[in-house]
Amino acid sequence: MKDLYDVQQLFKRFGMYIYVGARIYDIELMQIELKNLYDSHLIDKETYLTAWHVLKREHRIEESRQKN
């Protein structure tokens, strides 16, 4: 997993399509849902951590875009 698209494909495997409208809100909801998948033992720790890092990076990027 390298980017947000890859994380979206992970959710798609579980029939989850996340779209709130604002990219930063999409990312925040994905973080919540990713934690739910991990807590439900539907994904392993490595997948969870990799996706979590991608989401954190994308969130920082989006925050910096909004500040400018």
Q: What pLDDT, on the 0 to 100 scale, is given for residue 68? A: 81
Expressed as residue numbers, the domain containing 35 is 4-67
Residue 2 predicted with pLDDT over 90: yes
Domain count, the chain: 1
1 CB burial (10 A radius; 0-12, 13-18, 19+): middle
Question: Which tens digit of pLDDT belongs to each residue from 11-55?
Answer: 999 999 999 999 999 999 999 999 999 999 999 999 999 999 999
Could you tell me the CATH number of the domain that includes residue 39?
A: 1.10.287.760
Q: Say what the pTM is.
A: 0.93
Q: What pLDDT, on the 0 to 100 scale, is given for residue 61? A: 96
Is residue 29 within 8 Å of residue 20, measured between CB atoms?
yes
